[in-house]
Amino acid sequence: GENVEQHPSTLSVQEGDSAVIKCTYSDSASNYFPWYKQELGKGPQLIIDIRSNVGEKKDQRIAVTLNKTAKHFSLHITETQPEDSAVYFCAASPWGQNFVFGPGTRLSVLP
Partner 1 sequence: EPEVTQTPSHQVTQMGQEVILRCVPISNHLYFYWYRQILGQKVEFLVSFYNNEISEKSEIFDDQFSVERPDGSNFTLKIRSTKLEDSAMYFCASSESTTQGEQYFGPGTRLTVT
Question: For the chain, how far is it from start to end, CA to CA, in angstroms?
Answer: 41
Residue 75 sits in the site that holds partner 1 (CB under 8 A): no
Using the contact rule CB under 8 A, the part of the chain among 13-21, 53-61, 75-83, 86-94 near partner 1 is 86-94
Nearest to 66 by CA among 93, 36, 32: 32
What number of chain residues touch partner 1 (CB under 8 A)? 23
Residue 21 sits in the site that holds partner 1 (CB under 8 A): no
Q: Are strands 4-7 and 100-101 parallel, antiparallel or unpaired?
A: unpaired
E strands, 15-85, are: 19-25, 32-38, 45-51, 56-59, 62-67, 72-77
Least distance in angstroms from the C-beta of 17 to partner 1: 26
Q: Residues 34, 63, 66, 80: which binds partner 1 (CB under 8 A)?
A: 34
Radius of gyration of the chain (CA): 13
Using the contact rule CB under 8 A, the part of the chain among 15-23, 46-54, 64-72, 73-81 near partner 1 is 46-54
Residues that bind partner 1 (CB under 8 A): 32, 34, 36, 42-46, 49, 51, 89, 91, 93, 95-104
